[in-house]
Structure 1
Amino acid sequence: MLFAHGAWDSTLIGARGIGFSIRLDAISGVMLLLVSFIGWVVVRYTATYLDGEPRQGAFTGWLSLTLATVLLLVLSGNVVQLVLVWIATSLFLHRLLLFYPERIAAKRAAAKKFVTARIGDMALIIAALLLTFAYGTTDIEQILNAARAGTGGDPAIVAAGFLGVAALLKSAQFPMHGWLTEVMEAPTPVSALLHAGVINAGGFLLIRFADVMLLAPGVLAGLVLIGGFTALFAGLVMLTQPAVKTSLAWSTVAQMGFMILECGLALFPLALLHIVAHSLYKAHSFLASGGAVELIAANRRPGPVASPKAGAVARAFLLALAIYAVVGFGFGFQHKSPQAIALGAILIFGVAYMLAQGLADAAPRALTRRTVVYAVATSVGYFALQVFAIWLTSGVLPPAPSPGPLEWALIVLAVISFGLVAVVQAMFPLWAYHPAAAGLRVHLSNGFYANAVFDRLLGGWRMRDAS
């Protein structure tokens, strides 16, 4: 129906712009399928995971309520409904984070999440009021159509700023990321549930109001800087974490930063694709983490580690760029926006990191062949999925505008920054035992103590069950 007739908007059940309405388009359709599928998997997993727990019924109830509000969020047809279910999602998640109220770390995580969420809620409420004032309606379809026509003036631009703040806080961006790295104290299904549209809700908000965000280039620039820094910072911290689930949590912070970066570059179709891909693999990673650890421990075979040296790293980067260029031209590389080309270059740095392992002097030939095949498959997959995402959201999401001087500066900064970090990651095994590297590792493993600063600001306050 969506492909034949386009977006569908229901009539409002309510009065004066306040009530219930649904907007079904490519964005909400994709998110609806994603949330429903992951939610179904998590609920089934919970039935076994908490079997015998005295409060299993309560947990399943709060879990179902959280999923229901996320579904209402992605289907919202007016800003009043969107704000209400946005707040409700956070409040229901708070109950899940406190499922084991006797755990001090769980209380600390819930307290930080509660404070961060309430600030984000206020930002979204202000944004909704400004949008209603700017466009004279609460209907999201009418707001988007008017914004695409370039109307709205200063109130719409300021609203874009508050939308950005709400998205940053919802998706655990630096320096308000600490709560996400501590949710391991809650049951494992909660960690998987976060990827069913909860932690991704910030990205969804920016994608839903993409036309409004394009009215404020300065806001988009801020998203690039904060999202890019969060991705780099969390990606480095992740490498130092000894616990699997904590490492996965830091990985989520980094992935959310990269998603915000994509939105800041106005690559909204790719940000939507990122949400889907990350949600599926990360939810699976959390649910399978226990079994994976046991499997690795049972099959551990100590042997030589193939650490790439400078020559192997250089060859890996050159090979990765060559693969990117060849595959890219096959998919019409020359017709892509500069933002999309830069994003592809950043992603290919990850491919280079993988290739470096296969090109190391001690690496067996089988590993070398496998990494090259994976590199080609990754590049083909990136461009193919990019084409599909742009086609799927055509007419729903605006294309990336031509970059101006500010945008070009941010693009160059992002490519150079991610490139340098990729080189550092590839070379880190060679420096791991240097005294300076050992000290840096300690600071990185603690996230440069940003989380401790947040704890200090809270002054030891902890949310109780009744909160």
Structure 2
Amino acid sequence: MNPLVHLFITLLGPLSLIGVAVTARGEPGQAPRRVQRYLVRATMLGVLAALSAWIAVGAQGQLTSPRLGYAGLGAAIRLDALSGTIFSMVVLLVLVIARFSVTYLDGDPRHGTFLGRLAATAAAVEVLVIANNLLLLWVAWVATSLCLHRLLVFYPDRPRAVLAARKKFIVARLGDACLGGALLTLYVRTGTSDLSRILADSSAHSGWALSTAGALLALTALLKSAQFPTHGWLVEVMETPTPVSALLHAGILNAGPFLILRFSPLLDAAPASAWPLLVGGGFTALFASVALRTQPSVKVALGYSSAAHMGFMLFVCGLGVYAAAALHLVAHSFYKAHAFLSAGSTVDVNQAKRVAVDQREPSAGRAALALALATGLYLGLAHALGISPWDQPSLWLVGAVFVLGMMQLVGAGLGAPFKPRVYLRVLAAAGGVTIAFFGLEALAHAFLADSLPAYAQTRPAQLILAGVVVSVWALASVLQLSGLGRHTGFAERLRVHFKHGFYANALFDRLVRHSNPQLPTGGLS
């Protein structure tokens, strides 16, 4: 089949969703049967578009469409292993979320309007993923944010939702400006707006322009993914409809890491751009992962969880292990979509109660044993599978983070009352997860080899910084599992500070309300 046919079929996905958004303008109210029917069909057409994209990438490797525009600017799309993977992920998420939304607001007097806004947001995300022109990329980026804003203020009579949306709007405009500056710098420096050409020749464009563009791209990703200190809006948008939360946390937040992955060849040629990712992403991952444990609300905890995952992905991108970040992106998206769409599910609650076990008090000895077992499993299975985790310094750090995660799993099992069968099952599960980790990492590296650099050349100073960050993560994990110092006055005060997000969000609230005194005074910190 002609490659242009595959590209056209791929475009049918976002175009059909745009058609749904237009249809919703004429059927905005209750029981919008035509909009519901068209939305379901559009999502099925999106699945067909994703299949066509996979066929094209499998046969051709990489496809780019002709550019429609003037003076080198305009619209063009690109299909490769990375865009095909993320496009397919978005299509599947939209399929599930759209079907959930068809009945979720059934009876709402503005049901049609909601479905139209949801379709428009999904279309913008899909275009963003496959864009191959700097102008189209920027337009899709801004459109995604503006369409999301309309979803966040779907209920304008909810003051806290309006305040959160206002803060999100301000942060998003800063991100748009950073991205615009980065893309304009690249356009002026390279003389082309074709993303494929810029990435292919990135190593030839060294100097201040490339470093400036890389730093601006990193800042854009940090702002998009709700990293500290601009994280507050993310944990306050929980009054929006559940499908919006699912789309936001499973899809739109990932635009930050995706942007870094898309421009990874350029960032690989500008190592200085890794600093913001290592610092901002690393700190947010630690801060948010601790803060989520202090929250009484499940949805707020999920918000902090998303910020932590985004921070970890950006941190891994800063290390230059891009394939691992891409794998994490896909896994986190499906996990978070399920978490939000099933929140409050009676079936899930009953299943959780069925597998819950009594936990003994934390102890330092059990934490040390869990760490030793997790490390032994990781190194032993790596050796058995013929994998050397010492080939790249950045892989040491990624492996260390994985060991910390396995330590939590093993530690939870060891915390149950002594039952050899339970302990063996926990170790078997940890071993299975470790094998899956090695296998999926190898698969991701091989599959994305033509789209992402294998490993970035990380500077020694950056490795030292990353090592310090991972060491702090390790200390926090050991303290949590061992229970050391948990009942001291210092720990209690620190818990309060984490619960309120170190008051960064409270300061942001004051700044926003100072510019608009009519906004509500309530909010989470």
TM beyond 0.5? yes
Q: 1:441 aligns with which of 495, 499, 505?
A: 495
Give the residue type in structure 1 aligned to 2:443. Answer: F
After TM superposition, give the deviation of residue 366 of structure 1 in Å.
4.0
- Map of 1:373 onto structure 2: 428
- Map of 1:153 onto structure 2: 207
After TM superposition, give the deviation of residue 393 of structure 1 in Å.
0.8
Contact 1:231/1:258, CA 8 A, preserved across alignment = yes
- Matched residues in 2 for 1:401 and 1:288: separation? 38
- Map of 1:426 onto structure 2: 481
Contact 1:191/1:286, CA 8 A, preserved across alignment = yes
Structure 1 residue 285 corresponds to structure 2 residue 351: no
Structure 1 residue 132 corresponds to structure 2 residue 201: no
- Map of 1:217 onto structure 2: 271
1:139-178, aligned counterparts within 5 Å?
A: 139-147=194-202, 149-178=203-232
After TM superposition, give the deviation of residue 16 of structure 1 in Å.
1.3
What count of residue pairs does the alignment treat as equivalent? 463
Q: 2:79 aligns with which of 24, 48, 55?
A: 24
Task: Show CA shifts across 1:153-203 (max 9, x none).
Answer: 321211111111111100111111111111101111111001443100011
- Map of 2:508 onto structure 1: 454
After TM superposition, give the deviation of residue 463 of structure 1 in Å.
11
- Map of 2:451 onto structure 1: 396
Contact 2:228/2:284, CA 8 A, preserved across alignment = yes
SS at match of 1:239: helix
Structure 1 residue 56 corresponds to structure 2 residue 111: yes
Give the residue type in structure 2 aligned to 1:275. Answer: L
Task: Show CA shifts across 1:79-138 (max 9, x none).
Answer: 100000100100000010011111111011101100000000000111111000111100
- Matched residues in 1 for 2:87 and 2:93: separation? 10
Contact 2:268/2:457, CA 8 A, preserved across alignment = no
- Matched residues in 2 for 1:118 and 1:453: separation? 19
- Map of 2:304 onto structure 1: 250
After TM superposition, give the deviation of residue 308 of structure 1 in Å.
2.9
- Map of 2:460 onto structure 1: 405
After TM superposition, give the deviation of residue 353 of structure 1 in Å.
1.5
- Map of 1:231 onto structure 2: 285
- Map of 2:15 onto structure 1: none
SS at match of 1:14: strand
Q: 1:179 aligns with which of 223, 233, 257?
A: 233
Contact 1:189/1:287, CA 8 A, preserved across alignment = yes
Task: Show CA shifts across 1:212-246 (max 9, x none).
Answer: 11222222022111101000000000111111111
- Relative to the length of structure 2, the TM-score reads 0.84
Decide whether aligned partners of structure 1 residues 244 and 415 sit closer, same or farther in structure 2, where only a CA change above 3 A counts. Answer: same
Give the residue type in structure 1 aligned to 2:183. Answer: A
Task: Show CA shifts across 1:258-303 (max 9, x none).
Answer: 0110110111111111110000001100100110587349958997
- Map of 1:322 onto structure 2: 376
Structure with higher RCO (Cα < 8 A, 6+ apart): 1
Gapped runs of 5+ residues in structure 2?
1-55, 520-525
Q: 1:241 aligns with which of 295, 312, 331?
A: 295
1:183-202, aligned counterparts within 5 Å?
A: 183-202=237-256
- Map of 2:469 onto structure 1: 414
1:276-355, aligned counterparts within 5 Å?
A: 276-291=330-345, 295-296=349-350, 299=353, 304-329=358-383, 330-334=385-389, 336-355=391-410
After TM superposition, give the deviation of residue 312 of structure 1 in Å.
0.6
SS at match of 2:279: helix
Decide whether aligned partners of structure 1 residues 243 and 268 sit closer, same or farther in structure 2, where only a CA change above 3 A counts. Answer: same
- Matched residues in 2 for 1:61 and 1:361: separation? 49
Contact 1:134/1:153, CA 8 A, preserved across alignment = no
Structure 1 residue 73 corresponds to structure 2 residue 138: no
Gapped runs of 5+ residues in structure 1?
none
- The answer to which of 247-256 and 284-293 deviates more is 284-293
Structure 1 residue 112 corresponds to structure 2 residue 164: no
- Relative to the length of structure 1, the TM-score reads 0.94
RMSD: 2.2
- Matched residues in 1 for 2:120 and 2:509: separation? 29
SS at match of 1:163: helix
- Matched residues in 1 for 2:388 and 2:362: separation? 30
Task: Show CA shifts across 1:309-342 (max 9, x none).
Answer: 1111000001100001012221512564221231
Contact 1:312/1:361, CA 8 A, preserved across alignment = no
- Map of 2:145 onto structure 1: 90
Decide whether aligned partners of structure 1 residues 115 and 33 sit closer, same or farther in structure 2, where only a CA change above 3 A counts. Answer: same
- Aligned residues: percent identity? 41
